[in-house]
Amino acid sequence: MAAVLETQDLEKHFGGIAAVNGVSLRLEQGARHALIGPNGAGKTTVINLLTGVLRPSSGRILLEGRDITAVEAYQRVRLGLARTFQINQLFLDLTPLESVGLAIAERMGAGAQWWRLVGTNPAVIEEIVEILERFHLVDVMHERTGHLPYGKQRLLEIALAIACRPRVLLLDEPAAGVPDDERHEILATVAALPADVTVLLIEHDMDIVFSFADRISVLVNGALFLDGAPDEVARDPRVKAVYLGESLDA
């Protein structure tokens, strides 16, 4: 199978510290890939490198065979690489309706239009509604995002990424901090993501990882420790030693 997203010897140094050290990841088309590892292993740094928020010290990133190492963050989104954030990064003054509409308009290349009024394109409106329904945001679509309950904000995090219609979606702890009773709503939407979208999930919760992923990479101290199918990873005693010891304090 073809690799949709691939990194080759990715490294990122902050001063003398190697936060990411020679990571070569490979995401297959349509994969449900999880990236796990103890706190401080460099998972979010990997995401930031993949999305272009940070520039790698060395190594290459390939999206569908194309070298995107030097491509700006916003252009990577247009090439089909979208992400969510571990800590909400939302437009607090906009409504979910406006936020999702904005993302769709950008994807359609209409974002720089300054003469046409927002909401005059029927195709955009239908897609807004479709996404808001899928993420259970219709009843709060006119509220200011900053006033939404946390669970709804987490849903909007994912909705915004989906509105970019990505081919590769990077989910950075989608259910982080969500109370148990709202958790299932988020996990259900994650499970229901389109099958042709390749997903890289970063997650601490092992129940989520093992119910979701068909492949797991373990990151320890910035380096890939193990890469394999879930049962392989679950069986490996070293992973337990490295991971479970650390995660008790998480």
Partner 1 sequence: MPSTAVEEVARRLAKRARWHPLEYAFWLAALASVFLLPGRHLILTEIAWLGLFALSLDLILGYAGIISLGHAAFFGFGSYVAALLAKYAIINEPVLALVVAGLAAAVLGFATSFLVLRGSDLTRLMVTLGVALIMREIANQIPDVTGGADGLQGVVIAPVLGLFPFDIFGHVSYVYCLCVLFVLFLLARRVVYSPFGLSLRAVKGNPLRAASVGISVNARLVAVYTFAAFYAGVAGGLLAQTTAFASLDVLSFERSADLLLVLIIGGTGYLYGGLIGAVIFKLMQDWIANLTPQYWQFWIGLVLVLIVLVGRDRISLMTGGLRLVGERIARRWKPAPPAYSAPLAGEGRPGEGG
Q: Site size for partner 1, by CB under 8 A?
A: 60
Which CB sits closer to partner 1, 17 or 73?
A: 73
Please, what is the minimum distance in Å from the beta carbon of residue 38 to partner 1?
A: 26
Query: Which range in 13-21, 27-35, 36-44, 72-80 contacts partner 1 by CB under 8 A?
Result: 72-80
Residue written as token pair 């460099």: 42
Binding status of residue 98 toward partner 1 by CB under 8 A: yes
Give the residue, chosen from 21, 99, 153, 198, that forms a contact with partner 1 under the rule CB under 8 A: 99
Please, what is the minimum distance in Å from the beta carbon of residue 138 to partner 1?
A: 4
The DSSP bridge partners found for residue 26 are: 6
Query: Which range in 4-12, 18-26, 76-84, 241-249 contacts partner 1 by CB under 8 A?
Result: 76-84
Taking phi over 0 as left and psi of -120 to 50 as alpha, with beta for the rest, 109 belongs to left
| SS3 at position 187 | helix
- Distances in Å between the alpha carbon of 121 and those of 42, 67, 103, 128? 42, 34, 14, 11
Binding status of residue 64 toward partner 1 by CB under 8 A: no
**Six token digits for residue 218:** 């373990």
Binding status of residue 113 toward partner 1 by CB under 8 A: yes
Beta strands in the chain (DSSP E): 3-14, 17-23, 26-28, 32-36, 58-63, 66-67, 81-83, 168-172, 198-202, 215-220, 223-228
Binding status of residue 183 toward partner 1 by CB under 8 A: no
Please, what is the minimum distance in Å from the beta carbon of residue 80 to partner 1?
A: 10
Interface ranges with partner 1 (CB under 8 A) = 51, 53, 72-75, 77-78, 82-83, 85, 89-94, 97-99, 101-103, 105-107, 110-120, 122, 125-126, 128-130, 132-133, 136-139, 141-142, 160-161, 163-164, 184-185, 188-189, 192
